[in-house]
Amino acid sequence: MASKTWQEIARAAREHRDQSLAEVKPPLPEIRSEDLPLNVTAIPWKHLSSFEIELTETSPEKLVQSLASGKLTSTEVTNAFLRRAGIAQKLTNCITELLPSRALARAAYLDSYLSIHKTPVGPLHGLPISVKEHAGMQGLGQNAGFVSWWDRTAPEDAHSLQLLWNAGCVFYARTTQPQTLMHLETSNNFYGETVNPYNRSLTSGGSSGGEGALLGMRGSCLGIGSDIGGSIRSPAANNGVYGLRPTSGRLPLSGFAATMMGQEHVLPVMGPLSTTLEGCKLFMRTIIDQKPWLKEPSLVPVPWRTNDQARFGAKNGKKTLKVGVLWNDGVVKPHPPITRALKEVVEKLNTVPDIEIVDWKPYKHDLAWEIIASLYFADGAKEVKEAIAASGEPWRPLSHFIITENKYCKELTVPEVWNLTLQREKYRVEYAQLWNETAVDGDPDTVVDVILCPVGPGAAPPLDHARYWGYTAQWNLLDYPALVFPVSTVDQDKDVVERDYDPMNDQDRWNYELYALDKYVDAPVSLQLVGRRFDDEKVIEALEFIKETAQI
């Protein structure tokens, strides 16, 4: 490592990626980046066959049905996704490497198994799944966005990948992540910036931004991300797909690479991004049904809880889905497209007899950020700084933002960590009480079921400008499950700038001044549903009910 400069290592990484793309057959088309429009989502249609387009735009839940029945082969589906992922890379810079040889060998095995045994390997038989790079794959690199970690390899597949493999999936693509893994964007010194397929001047989000862009391009239908402050939800929202931040302890995390591994005061989670809500549900159920806590005892032994009867619907004349609406967190006001989307969704929900809408009052969200931002880097970011310095690579702008410009980032003593952990627990108790107080006449069955709120203070921001984490990190501190879903896109006629707005603080002023409508052409607009701890299934079922009854 010492004999090579960071530039030489980065060049080797890009050459490795390009070589993996060159192995895709038939060869991928040449695409000149200087000739690209801002919105590149339609370009794959020019270069793929109608059959490849049909396969890659089919939902994961329908693909697994066709694969299990033999209507489709895993080989043809894998080939289609390899080609579309390769094109997505050329358009958005979202891939660290494709895995054509591995993936097609696995697909051939699965096709043979189905032909011989007349039964699928498991519930994901033949389904291609993309993987954020810091999830370990045996024998492959695992750099977590640091140039100095380029030569690190995973000794085995991450636990979650083992379970997905047992269920019959095909791993075919690895996706980009940012330096430090602590950006709501995706940029590093290996590959540069991963951009948004709907508007290449905007970010794809982060830190699972490669997954977000790949799914937005339909180069994947189901992918693996991780989240410690919004890293699944930001990319899902920015690229118009679904993403779930589960409660910690539901899904296995062993085998992922990052600095500060072992810290327990802000627990990261892994989870799905998908082109459909059912894809997220399929992912969760498939892993949890295999009882991952038997191998990873830190996990909570809670089975995936399904209901024979619908959880929501009319019962005894009562409304049975109660939605609290958080319009504003009291720190940074959302941009006009986000507020409009909230209003439009609420208007639709108000037409459904079995849904009750109430306003949710934010509770000290500024304090929540102070606590979590202090706990993120309890070592003063020493490990992160050392990992960057080891190769001599430059700091990315958002690495500076979250570390050197973060007034809460400082080395803590053990008693200081204990004190902040107590503050975290006190805040969780107070927020739980706020939730309990939504009950009518003390009836626990009448509390708010889910909170509907923004995913961020705006649509996907311009590159290097995702500087407000409050709408996502809030739920990491509370350890609440949060599910992102697409709603609309920025509307040039409706989403006009609010004139003469008086910002609440410096962060709010920065966000307000960032909004200029012409920046956000074609940007997806998404929202999130949030539930109480371990209400992961309830959050999914609430969105299913909302989509069915309110047609969202």
Is 110 marked as binding a ligand? no
Any idea how long the chain is?
A: 552
Is 229 marked as binding a ligand? yes
Is 216 marked as binding a ligand? no
Give me the catalytic one of 160, 226, 231, 248.
231
Give the whole-angstrom CA distance, residue 104 versus residue 100. Answer: 6
Q: Which residue has the tokens 């009052």?
A: 361
Is 374 marked as binding a ligand? no
* 231 classed as catalytic: yes
Is 207 marked as binding a ligand? yes
Give the whole-angstrom CA distance, residue 177 versus residue 526. Answer: 21
Q: Distances from the Cα of 535 to the Cαs of 250, 294, 340, 408, 480, in angstroms?
A: 11, 21, 27, 31, 8
* 291 classed as catalytic: no
In this structure, what are the phi and psi dihedrals at residue 129, rounded to the nearest 5 degrees? -130, 135
Find all residues with CB under 8 Å of 192, minimum gap 6, and list them: 93
Nearest to 139 by CA among 102, 189, 191, 106: 102
Is 458 marked as binding a ligand? no
Nearest to 537 by CA among 433, 450, 438: 450
The CA-to-CA distance between both ends of the chain, in Å, stands at 52
DSSP states of 470-539? HHHHHHHHHT--EEEEEEEE--TTT----TT---SSHHHHHHHHH--GGGGTT-EEEEEEE-STT-HHHH
Q: Tokens in use for 44? A: 């794959």
Give me the catalytic one of 74, 130, 207, 391.
207
Give me the catalytic one of 90, 132, 322, 385.
132
Nearest to 337 by CA among 229, 486, 177, 172: 486
325 bridge partner residues? 359, 452
* 399 classed as catalytic: no
Find all residues with CB under 8 Å of 35, minimum gap 6, and list them: none
Give the whole-angstrom CA distance, residue 501 versus residue 482. Answer: 30
Give the whole-angstrom CA distance, residue 265 versus residue 430. Answer: 18
Q: Which amino acid is at 515?
A: Y
Nearest to 244 by CA among 288, 200, 201, 203: 288
Residues at the annotated binding site for substrate? Answer: 181, 207, 228-231
Which residues belong to the active site?
132, 207, 231
Binding-site residue ranges: 181, 207, 228-231
